[in-house]
Amino acid sequence: MTGERKVCCTGHGLISPSLRFADRLLKMGVSVTFCTFSGLLQIIKETIPHGLTFATFSDGHDNGLQPTDTLPQLISDFAKSGSVAVADLLTSAAATGQPFDRVVYTTIVPWVANVANAHNVKSTLLWCQPATVFNIYYYYFNGYQELISSNKNNPLVPIKLPGLPLLTMADLPSFDELENESIKAIEKIKYIPIGPLIPSESLEKDEDGIMSWLNTKPKKSVVYVSFVRVSRLAIDQAEEMAKGLLESGRPFLWVIRDNHEAAKLSKLDELKKQGMIVDWCSQVDVLNHDAVGCFITNCGWNSTMEALAAGVPIVAYPQLMDQGTNAKMIEDVWKIGVRVVSFKVFGETQ
């Protein structure tokens, strides 16, 4: 692979595994250009791999989101701007005599494959979820759609798919995130395992005093709580979490990414006396600290793999996308944690 040129295209949710994959390619002697929207570079916390080139573009919302913006419109604008940017990048590279050999893209930017194909450049999907989830998607679009769709309002109905553990509807991912025609078109899938895409080196920074605080705590005593941006807790859920943490009597480290949301907690002063609330931390460093005893998470795939590699037990609270399937694997297959079960009482989720 030495001397080849590749471009990685992604968006916010898959930035960390994409950067880690780019780093591995660079260490193999591959020239890598990382293409994403310009606003993302301002919020990247991940260590930038040495030698990585960036190609950024506007997502059409450089001045921030507006109250009238809708999710479908944001997705459409991103695809439109991104398609032009990737096409220009491929064209200009070819014009200089240094064409890209391959485009690597993630699930949230499926349009990249079409752009690459139009420019006769090979493309590869970087799948950043468990293979189990890919198989579920595949079976849904290839013979099992009626079975699954007819039971979508019955979370406890058992679903048996070839080669997978017995699942229930509550264990299945969402089915509105992939293009079904693309999945149907796959007659033979070739898997190339490359993970886990987790950092192998510590950030070695303690700007917020997090690691110093952890150093003062007994071994396996700290409860670590973190939810990704798209799965953040509603205020009533956050209040219940706060209540549980206080009643546990244990020290905790709680990542709340929006400081305004943290300020709304009714017992904030009590929480700060017992634990530490931050807006960001180096999760891999935290999970590998001896003081951390368990991890409360929505169990996105990155967090799941990082906890698994660190040997930290998980309390899984899945909310969307692949998280229900991850929670199933965590509790029933790998047996490395427990799952929070939600149920309705008088129409309210408990």
Mean pLDDT computed over every residue of the chain: 83
- pLDDT for 259: 73
* Domain final residue pick, 81, 100, 125: 125
Residue 68 sits in the same domain as residue 166: no
Is residue 281 in a domain?
Answer: yes
Q: What is the pLDDT of residue 81?
A: 86
pLDDT (0 to 100) of residue 154: 86
Instruction: Provide the pLDDT for residue 95.
Output: 93
- Domain co-membership, 87 together with 168: no
- Note whether 256 and 229 are same-domain residues: yes
DSSP H/E element including 274: helix 268-274
Query: What's at 309, amino acid-wise?
Result: A
CATH classification of the domain holding 266: 3.40.50.2000
Beginning with the edge strand found earlier in the chain, give each strand of the sheet holding 292-297 in spatial order.
Answer: 276-278, 252-255, 222-226, 292-297, 314-316, 337-339
Tell me the average pLDDT across 104-116.
89
Residue percentage of the chain with pLDDT more than 90: 38
172 inside domain: yes
pLDDT reading at 99 higher than 80: yes
For range 124-129, the mean pLDDT: 88
CA distances from 43 to 46, 47, 175, 257 (A): 9, 12, 29, 12
Q: Are residues 60 and 157 in the same domain?
A: no
∠ CA 28-29-34, nearest 5°, is: 95
Residue 17 corresponds to which tokens in the numbers above? Answer: 């595994």
327 is a domain residue: yes
- List all residues 6 or more positions away from 349 whose beta carbon is below 8 Å from its beta carbon: 342, 343
Same domain, 343 and 262: yes
Q: Is residue 202 part of a domain?
A: no
Q: Between helices 111-118 and 71-95, what is the axis angle to 10°?
A: 30
Instruction: Please say if the pLDDT value at position 118 is more than 90.
Output: yes
- Same structural domain for residues 47 and 65? yes
Give the integer Cα–Cα distance in Å for 193 and 334.
Answer: 19
> Which is it for strands 53-57 and 102-105: parallel, antiparallel or unpaired?
unpaired
Residues 121 and 138 both lie in one domain: no
Last residue of a domain, one of 77, 100, 125: 125
Shared-domain flag, residues 326 and 342: yes
Sorted by sequence, the CB contacts under 8 Å of residue 50 that are 6+ apart come out as 26
Q: Is the same domain home to 119 and 143?
A: no
pLDDT surpasses 60 at 349: no
Is 85 found in the same domain as 32? yes
Report the number of distinct structural domains present in the chain: 3
- Distant-in-sequence, close-in-space partners of 142: CB < 8 Å, separation ≥ 6: 183, 184
Per-residue model confidence (pLDDT) at position 346: 37
> What does the pLDDT look like over 142-193, one tens digit per residue?
889 999 989 888 888 999 999 898 999 989 987 755 545 445 545 566 778 8
Asked whether residue 171 falls in the same domain as residue 92, the answer is no
Dist CA 137 CA 258 (whole Å): 33
Q: What is the pTM of this model?
A: 0.79
pLDDT of residue 314 exceeding 70: yes
Does residue 193 lie in a domain region?
A: no
Instruction: Name the residue range of residue 288's domain.
Output: 210-349
| Mean pLDDT, range 71-86, rounded to an integer | 85
Give dist(CA 116, CA 154) in Å, integer.
41
User: Is the pLDDT score of 199 beyond 80?
Assistant: no
pLDDT tens digit sequence for 211-265: 999 999 999 999 999 987 655 677 888 888 899 999 999 999 999 887 777 888 8
Six-digit token pair at 12?
């916010």
Task: Tell me, yes or no, whether 158 and 250 share the same domain.
Answer: no
Q: Is residue 189 part of a domain?
A: no
Quick check: is 191 in a domain?
no
Please state the rounded mean pLDDT for residues 297-303: 90
| 3-7, 66-70, 155-159, 221-225: the lowest-pLDDT one | 3-7
Q: What local confidence, expressed as pLDDT, does residue 253 receive?
A: 96
